[in-house]
Amino acid sequence: MVELDLIKAAQAGDRDALVELLRGIENQVYRTAYYLLNNEQDALDASQEALIKIYTKIHTYEEKAQFRTWVQRIVTNLCIDKFRRIRPSVSIDEHELVFESADNVEDEVMSAYASEEIREAIGKLPEHHRTVIILRYMQDFSYNEIADSLNLPLNTVKSYLFRARQQLQTLLRDYQKGGVRG
């Protein structure tokens, strides 16, 4: 059964269809949670919670939204809540200052970054920037899909994404320098 049929069946009360639907999305839910929370156990908890929420809220899904953006909205909201509980002291302003000041130095030699470094760098982004990056690259979402998922204006999404990439680039460059210099 294709996803749309499964959704309709699930909304009509077909529990098997709903469970099958969940199986179809569990990996993408987990992937977002994993990169947002940067921790396997937290990601497992959050993605299970998200799947349960989808299970209980499936009737509220309306076809005018894409199912996958609806799913990502649920998982990102849960992760952001979780993230705030884990790291309540981090504020976006703090990050902005750091990144703004470091952004002018552009003399480094470019090379590929290890995925571990990238993951760590993503973990240092402010939550909205991080979320936008993850939806863009881990879910291959368009600007519009990200905007739908996060309920943000399109221009805000672009602004977050562009800034996030610059911040990541700065962080990774610092990593490399740190690595080279020991």
Which residues of the shown chain bind another protein in the complex (CB under 8 A)?
10-16, 18-19, 22-23, 26-27, 29-31, 34-35, 40, 43-44, 47-48, 51-52, 55-56, 58-59, 106, 110, 112-113, 115, 118-119, 133, 136-138, 143, 158, 161-162, 165, 168-169, 172
Residue reference for tokens 């990996």 = 27
Residue 36 burial by Cβ neighbours in a 10 Å radius (0-12, 13-18, 19+): buried
Task: Supply the minimum distance, in Å, between the C-beta of residue 175 and another protein.
Answer: 12
* Smallest distance from another protein to CB 57, Å: 8
Q: Minimal distance in Å, beta carbon 20 to another protein? A: 9
**Rg for the chain, CA atoms, rounded:** 18
DSSP state of 47: H
How many residues belong to the chain? 182
Which of residues 89 and 111 has its CB atom nearest to another protein in the complex?
111
Minimal distance in Å, beta carbon 2 to another protein? 18
Considering the complex, state which of residue 27 and residue 91 has its C-beta at the smaller distance from another protein. 27
CA 67 to CA 54: how far, in whole Å? Answer: 11
Quote the CA–CA distance of 155 and 38 in Å, as a whole number: 27
